[in-house]
Amino acid sequence: MSQKNQTLGEFIIEHQSSFKYSSGELSRLINSIRLAAKVVNYEVNKAGLVDILGAAGDTNVQGESQQKLDVYANDKFIQMLTNRNIVCGIASEEEDHFIAINSNDKNHQNKYIVLIDPLDGSSNIDVNVSVGTIFSVYRRVTDVGTPVSLDDFLQKGSEQVAAGYIIYGTSTMLVYTTGDGVNGFTLNPAIGTFYLSHPNMQFPKNGKIYSVNEGNYIHFPQGIKDYIKYCQMEEGDRPYTSRYIGSLVSDFHRNMIKGGIYLYPKSSKTSEGKLRLLYECNPMAFLAEQANGKATNGVQRILDIQPTELHQRVPFICGSTNMVEDVEAFIKATQ
Ligand code: P6P
């Protein structure tokens, strides 16, 4: 089928033969994410009109006040993934512990687990800045038909079988990979269909955009400080442009299209940075590498990090390969 105007559903069917595991379940899993994305998109886009803004009052395991849309998005993705009887476990930024699905049903043969950040950048909702959902998919490592365990979730990012994000921006897009490149689908809200709009997305090897919260500059390690000053120097194709939205999905998406680098380093304030390994950094790193980009914690490939805790943080540097390697060189020069 010609790619022009191909729908997400047609794309999934056409490409499921290239997926090395049992493709039917993964296709159904991506389809359930597609449906949840449309439902959450509807609420995100009308959030300004109804009383769904403002903190839900509770705080999540991160100690952050939960926006009502955080709670809504979390509940919707968990509901859609559970109802379709596809996964055996779910972990979420908004849930203290992982959720075992049908753990008492010896007959259930579901092999996949999903980790989600249901609404990343949610503090931007009240100011009408784009936010996103991030998801990561693994095959379980414990025996099928038994309750999932923490081991199923603490797998290296290199073991992911799928990952992606939904960006609720000027248009709503679903961008994902199953290990065979990255493809972007744009929602036509009039008919509720995602169409292939960005086939085979690739990070340019070089870029001129750097994304970092420079308000933390004085707390950064010397190598990061040196790299930021390097970006600002008048030399060759520099100074680069500074663009920081405060929404990982949005900064990542723009950098993948235009070329650029996103940094959330460790600092004297946050010894391991801010971003979560399992449901933010690993899926974005899988996408980055599938799009010929790179993702590191400054000294190690993100996808090689052995997780030890469900909500652990890691420093995160991700984007155009040559730019990430520049940062690694600046860090190495100060060690
Ligand atoms: P800061 C949103 O909370 C998030 O997890 C990312 O989406 C975003 O890039 C980052 O944190 C912003 O954090 O500390 O710069 O406000």
Nearest CA to ligand 1 atom 10: 246
C-alpha–C-alpha distance, residues 268 and 275, integer Å: 15
Ligand 1 within 6 A of 247 CB?
Answer: yes
How many whole angstroms from its chain centre is CA 286? Answer: 9
Q: Which atom of ligand 1 lies nearest, measured to the CA of 244?
A: 9
Going by the DSSP 8-state scheme, the letter that residue 215 receives in this structure is G
Find out whether 195 and 186 touch, Cβ atoms under 8 Å. Answer: yes
Over the chain (335 residues), what is each successive 10-residue block's mean pLDDT? 78 81 79 94 77 62 71 93 89 97 75 96 87 97 92 98 96 96 96 96 98 98 98 97 97 98 97 97 98 98 98 98 98 95
Ligand 1 within 6 A of 265 CB?
Answer: no
- Counting ligand 1 atoms within 8 A of each CB, the residue from 93, 133, 213, 278 with the most, and so the one to mutate, is 213
- Counting ligand 1 atoms within 8 A of each CB, the residue from 67, 116, 248, 277 with the most, and so the one to mutate, is 248
Ligand 1 within 6 A of 70 CB?
Answer: no
What pLDDT score does 19 carry? 72
- Cα three-residue angle 134-74-312, rounded to 5 degrees: 60
Peptide bond into 239 cis (omega under 30): yes
Q: Which domains does the chain have, with CATH numbers?
A: 8-198 (3.30.540.10), 209-333 (3.40.190.80)
Ligand 1 within 6 A of 293 CB?
Answer: no
What pLDDT score does 25 carry? 82
User: Separation of 249 CA from ligand 1 center, angstroms?
Assistant: 10
What pLDDT score does 181 carry? 96
What pLDDT score does 272 carry? 95
Beta strands in 65-177 (DSSP E): 65-67, 87-92, 99-100, 112-120, 131-139, 162-168, 172-177
User: Separation of 122 CA from ligand 1 center, angstroms?
Assistant: 9
C-alpha–C-alpha distance, residues 155 and 130, integer Å: 30
Ligand 1 within 6 A of 121 CB?
Answer: yes
**Residue with the two structure tokens 């559903």:** 9
